[in-house]
Structure 1
């Protein structure tokens, strides 16, 4: 009895016990193990399919978001351009309005200066006429009372002076 020559009864009992254990494992445990593995395989496959679906949906949403973002950027650029153009238009209008107001002010000032010049010239002529009449009266030794004649002489003198100024200028 050694390893090469085993005891036949022990060998038979061992084989029967092994067969019973193997049959029990094959009938009870292996179907449970296979069912659990199949469930895990289905769960894994289902999770992968769901992950792919979620990934496709995320990619679709990302594409939509980028398209909307691009459209918003384009619209913002158009709004900026329109605002810039509107600003330039307003600036040109304000400049034009300011230019017109300046021209109106210059024209009004020119008219006022011309009116003031005419008034000053008339007042100066009257003053010069008065001084000339008084001086002539002192030279003659008696006051001159013919104001109309003195005015006619003074007007003639001023007309000659203006004519000389026009020919020189």
Structure 2
């Protein structure tokens, strides 16, 4: 076996073992050119088309995203403006409601005051009427009692109505005069 290696080494001295034979290089070059031609004509254009489509899709999506972001910002600004308008309108409505409530409260208070004054004046009129009725009733009863008492003291009947009425009126006038004089002196203390 060693001998075959030595013989093969002796024969191969003319040819470099690192370089292939010329026919291998030519056929490899032909195959490479054919494969390169098909790659250049078929595969490369498809790859370029695919990459261009992908690039266009990415750019389109970026543009769509930018447009959507601009629309969102515009919608946000519009929403913010509408919200500010709504808040201003709500504040205006609240202020108007407060003003209306104060006005209505003032009107109700004025009406209640007027009603109270009317009730007070009606009560005063009714009290005055009751006082007058009580005074008339009291005069007649006091007059009757006074005449009966005077008849009992004198011992004779005082049946003359005019005379009895005059006597009762004079007696009551004296009582009123003495009552008002007593009120003046008690009020000064």
TM-score, normalised with respect to structure 2: 0.83
Provide the alpha-carbon RMSD of the alignment.
1.6
For structure 1, the residue ranges without an aligned partner over 5 or more in a row are none
Which is greater in Rg? 2
- Residue equivalent to 1:31: 45
Residue 87 (structure 1) aligned with residue 112 (structure 2): no
Give deviations 1:61-108, integer Å, cap 9, x for gaps. Answer: 211111011101110111111012101111111111111101110111
* Number of residue pairs aligned between Structure 1 and Structure 2: 169
Residue 139 (structure 1) aligned with residue 149 (structure 2): no
For structure 2, the residue ranges without an aligned partner over 5 or more in a row are 1-14, 184-189
Distance 1:157 1:3 in 2: 173
Q: Pick 1 or 2: higher relative contact order, CA cutoff 8 A, min separation 6.
A: 2
- Residue equivalent to 1:103: 117
- Residue equivalent to 1:119: 133
Distance 1:54 1:116 in 2: 89
**2:159 alignment partner, SS class:** coil
TM-score, normalised with respect to structure 1: 0.92
Distance 1:115 1:15 in 2: 142
Distance 1:2 1:21 in 2: 28
Give deviations 1:112-145, integer Å, cap 9, x for gaps. Answer: 1111111111111111111111122222333211
**1:87 alignment partner, SS class:** helix
